[in-house]
Amino acid sequence: MRQRELWLKRIPGEILAALVIAGLFVAMTLPSPDHAASAVAVPNCVETQLAVTGVGAPGGSLHAGVVIHYRNVSATACSLTGYSNVVGVNFETGKSRTGKHVTNGYLGGWMGYMKGKTEPLPLAVLRARDGEASSMVEWADGGTDQQPGCSVLTSLWVNVTGGSRPFSLNERMLVCGYFDVTPIVPGVTGSAR
């Protein structure tokens, strides 16, 4: 402590005052932890900001799926996280299936494991005008529409988290057994680590 006091006495008063003022200025302009967090926070996407489409997922042994793409078409960045609620419907037969939320499935999903624990669901930030995120709908498709437990569905209704109306996707599928929905992840593949 004694050496510091001696060192400070050797600095002329004007320079010392300038250093103190410069230090205060730097301290005042650095973001506080709360300010830093709010500066990067991106509001949740609302339905009017999104275009939602589906594309067939590469299938596998008795498994089929659709990758759901969420594209930001607005001039403002927004974010998505969690699960969309998905219902498969057939208006001719009146049959429907509600998707069960799962972390991942046979074809993809959120593979967020670290040291034996599942990581929190990801936050997908969609930049203005063309940012994208995705999720996946998967089902077992082994069987025929005449078998018990099998349904032909002709549309997917996709309702994003907090949404008030579903997006309708024309998809024809034979669902036998499970009908699962994975969380929204960054990118367009429906899968992320």
- Domain coordinates of the chain in residue numbers? 2-30, 47-186
Which class is 47-186 in CATH? mainly beta
Given this model, what pLDDT does residue 26 score? 32
The Cα 9–Cα 123 span in angstroms is: 53
| 162, two tokens | 């907090």
Where does 63-109 have alpha helices with state H?
none
Task: Name the range with the highest mean pLDDT among 14-23, 37-46, 100-109, 144-153.
Answer: 100-109
pTM over 0.85: no
DSSP H or E stretch at residue 114 = strand 113-114
Tell me the pLDDT of the chain averaged across its residues: 80
Residues 6+ apart with CB under 8 A from 178: 100, 138, 139, 140
Residues 6+ apart with CB under 8 A from 75: 128, 129
pLDDT per position as a tens digit, 58-116: 877 788 999 999 999 999 999 999 999 999 999 888 889 999 999 988 888 998 766 66
DSSP H or E stretch at residue 173 = strand 167-176
Average pLDDT over residues 119-139: 94
pLDDT above 80 for 121:
yes
